[in-house]
Amino acid sequence: MNNFFERRYVIAGIFIALILVLLARLFYIQVVDDRYALYASQNVVRKFVKYPARGPILDRTGKIMVQNEPVYDITVVPKQVKAFDTVEFCKLLGIDREGYDKRMTKARKYSPYRTSVFEKQVTVEQYAAFQERLSEFPGFDTQQRSLRNYPDTAAAQFLGYIGEATDAIIKRSNGYYSPGDYVGITGVEKSYETVLRGQRGVENIIVDSRNVRKGKYANGAFDTAAVAGERLISSLDMTIQKLGEKLMQNKVGSIVAIEPSTGEILCFVSSPTYDPNLLVGRERGNNAAKLYKDPYKPFFTRPVQAYYPPGSSFKPLSALIAMQEGVITPSTVYHCSGYYQSGNRRIKCFQGEVHGDVNLASAVAHSCNGYFDMVFERLINRNGTRQTDTSYNYWRGNVAKFGLGGKLGLDLPAEGRGNLPKASYYDKVYHKGGWRSSTVISLGIGQGELLATPLQLANIEATIANHGYYYKPHLIKAIGEKQVIKKEYTIRNYVGVDSQYFEPVINGMQSVVDFGTAKGSKIPGIIMCGKTGTAEVKNQKDNSVFVAFAPRDNPKIAIAVVVENSGQGATWAAPIASFIVEKYLRGSISKRASNITPDYYIGKNLLPDIVVKPADKAKLKADSIKKATADSLKKVAADSLKRLKSAQNKPVKKTTDNKLTAMLPNRRDDE
């Protein structure tokens, strides 16, 4: 009897355990694991994401720079795929069986139960043919998206491009993006991604067992509409942007133009450039690979990423700081004998010119190195040679107020800081107390370790044009219909120099164009104030630099032009800048007294020679030898095979002992 009761409890315990296991499994299936719910719901109701149109981008005059065009993707839910005619399927999409398997494996890896992109950007013809036979391919569907189109093929580095979201981007988005989604990768497309992308919608559709749509679920009560991305109005003027790109074709360098009264960037040229349409469509990957291999780096955004010695374009800034600190006045005279003696160093004026007695304005007009070396030494030695590092850091702080050595906060990714070394840098190089003003004298004329981006150079000109302040440069002047602009772009940033000190410097800058180093670029009827720069580059030809603003009264445009390894600032950068300035202010380019014309500069090829590093040379040599050897072996093998086949086709002769002899091809000496 006792045994019976004991067995009863054991059996009851087993049943209870089984029930608990089943309940736990049921709870897991219904609550924890969503695979079955997804699978079950997708048998009847299918959710289709409705992708919004990406926001267009316009130039400051309302001209479309970027617009959308529809494309179609083929999507798949792997778990719903059943047996079908894969040969016909592949034929419709223009892929092979290996490509099909590869795509399906990727889709399964993402999720067997969720929709993912199987084939991107099919043609309209492929989409129409596929849509007609959609019921033959269970688990597959179509999805409309939009891609970018660039009507003017200009401003590529400013606009940037969109691409498929990478795993890293998907992870950072906390699930917002999925494989196959398009996002901004560079340029404005990236920095304004959240504004441009809009808001997705969802459409719930009832489908039958053959994947045929039967209408909206609950009459669309649970659908959400897609909201198009916001329209962006850029600050660029496409007229001068396209002119700038023409003037800089077959040259390496940059043009940046700013409206001083707002900080809006009018022109943003990075050369060499590329057609942004090359990074749209199914050939995007191949085109991108070619561009990445281009030795002149078209993806490099030179206006904000390239660092250049400012050269003589730095001299007006140096003069402003010196006047503010009281070490010179506009009437301070320096006698230039063709060089400046600093300690045991003798620094020549450009090509050794002897300028004689010069004051501030004439020193700027004729770009006297000696005058500005003198200015720099007075600033650094004002507290005695034992306080060189303290005085230097004070000087550095004043220069930094103009935007050098730090980011200006441009609404574009990957902005560079330039280089404005601290005293601690020289302490490491020369040990503390082991350097003097003469050691770093080249900084006074914009050389040495001092490096700036073209954006920073243009911003300095905007600051001088405004007599002591600047607005943060920006590329987008309005967002959406409400013409919203970021508040930080409406604040004046003062540089700590009194407005009274700007006129003497501006007088000198006007003289530069009227009768000084840039007189060949004078614009009839427009007073342009500028400064040429011939910036030395180690072991290479000088960079041509020119900075300016115009007109002198109520300036409308400030500009910086850099043409790499091309020579003097007056020869190349100044004329290019003058064409841009006149085109913006007048809408046309007049005949110049110097007879310079845009066509000459457009047609000139100044691309510098590619400098190949020793390591690269060795690699290229090894690759060429390897290729030559492989080609030689292939040729030998092909010749041998050809001769062997020829010999085998000849009739076989018998010898006297009736034995067959091998018919071998004749061998060459090098085989």
Contact assessment for residue 56 and residue 68, using Cβ atoms and an 8 Å cutoff: yes
Categorize the per-residue pLDDT at 539 as very low, low, confident or very high, splitting at 50, 70 and 90: confident
Q: What is the pLDDT of residues 574-627, one digit of tens each?
A: 999 999 999 999 999 999 999 999 999 999 999 988 766 666 566 556 655 555
Average pLDDT, the chain: 86
Q: Could you tell me the strand order of the sheet in which 264-271 lies? A: 264-271, 253-259, 557-563, 540-550, 529-537
Categorize the per-residue pLDDT at 14 as very low, low, confident or very high, splitting at 50, 70 and 90: confident
Residues linked to residue 119 through DSSP beta bridges, in sequence order? 74
pLDDT of residue 222: 81
Residues linked to residue 72 through DSSP beta bridges, in sequence order? 122, 144
Residues linked to residue 49 through DSSP beta bridges, in sequence order? 202
pLDDT of residue 663: 31
Q: Is 188 helix (H, G, I), strand (E, B) or coil?
A: helix
DSSP state of 651: P
pLDDT of residue 615: 61
Helix/strand/coil (H/E/C) assignment for every residue in 444-483: HHCCCCCEECHHHHHHHHHHHHCCCEEECCECEEEECCCC
Which one-letter amino acid corresponds to residue 411?
D
Domains of the chain by residue range: 2-33, 46-234, 238-603, 615-671
Categorize the per-residue pLDDT at 655 as very low, low, confident or very high, splitting at 50, 70 and 90: very low
Least confident window among 25-29, 335-339, 475-479: 25-29
pLDDT of residue 112: 87
Query: How far, in Å, CA of 512 to CA of 522, rounded?
Result: 9
In this predicted structure, the answer to whether residue 322 has a pLDDT above a threshold of 90 is: yes
Of 13-22, 106-115, 305-314, which one has max mean pLDDT?
305-314
pTM: predicted TM-score of the whole model, two decimal places: 0.81
Residues 6+ apart with CB under 8 A from 21: none
Domains 46-234 and 238-603 share a fold: no
Least confident window among 176-190, 306-320, 506-520: 176-190
Query: How far, in Å, CA of 505 to CA of 320, rounded?
Result: 7
pLDDT of residue 433: 87
Which one-letter amino acid corresponds to residue 215?
G
In this predicted structure, the answer to whether residue 317 has a pLDDT above a threshold of 80 is: yes
pLDDT of residue 37: 57
Q: What is the DSSP string of 58-108?
A: E-TTS-EEEEEEEEEEEEE-GGG-----HHHHHHHHT--HHHHHHHHHHHH
In this predicted structure, the answer to whether residue 412 has a pLDDT above a threshold of 90 is: yes
In this predicted structure, the answer to whether residue 642 has a pLDDT above a threshold of 60 is: no
Query: How far, in Å, CA of 402 to CA of 558, rounded?
Result: 14
pLDDT of residue 668: 32
pLDDT of residue 662: 31
Of 36-45, 382-391, 471-480, which one has max mean pLDDT?
471-480
CATH for the stretch 238-603: 3.40.710.10
Stretch 470-475: mean pLDDT, rounded? 96
Categorize the per-residue pLDDT at 48 as very low, low, confident or very high, splitting at 50, 70 and 90: confident
In this predicted structure, the answer to whether residue 556 has a pLDDT above a threshold of 70 is: yes
Query: How far, in Å, CA of 453 to CA of 449, rounded?
Result: 13
Residue among 61, 15, 130, 53 nearest 584 (CA): 61
Residues 6+ apart with CB under 8 A from 483: 233
In this predicted structure, the answer to whether residue 268 has a pLDDT above a threshold of 50 is: yes
pLDDT of residue 451: 96
In this predicted structure, the answer to whether residue 406 has a pLDDT above a threshold of 70 is: yes
Q: Which class for 638: exposed (0-12), middle (13-18), buried (19 or more C-beta within 10 A)?
A: exposed
Task: For domain 46-234, give the CATH superfamily.
Answer: Penicillin-binding protein 2a (Domain 2) (3.90.1310.10)
In this predicted structure, the answer to whether residue 631 has a pLDDT above a threshold of 60 is: no
Query: pLDDT: is 147 or 31 the higher one?
Result: 147
Stretch 496-517: mean pLDDT, rounded? 95
Contact assessment for residue 183 and residue 161, using Cβ atoms and an 8 Å cutoff: no
Residues 6+ apart with CB under 8 A from 139: 76, 77, 78, 79, 80, 81, 82, 211
Q: How far is CA 296 from the centre of its chain?
A: 14
Least confident window among 18-32, 370-384, 543-557: 18-32
Instruction: From residue 50, give the alpha-carbon distance in Å to each of 113, 199, 201.
Output: 19, 9, 5
Query: How far, in Å, CA of 437 to CA of 198, rounded?
Result: 56
Query: How far, in Å, CA of 202 to CA of 200, rounded?
Result: 7
Categorize the per-residue pLDDT at 524 as very low, low, confident or very high, splitting at 50, 70 and 90: very high
pLDDT of residue 645: 47
Query: How far, in Å, CA of 308 to CA of 240, rounded?
Result: 23
pLDDT of residue 618: 62
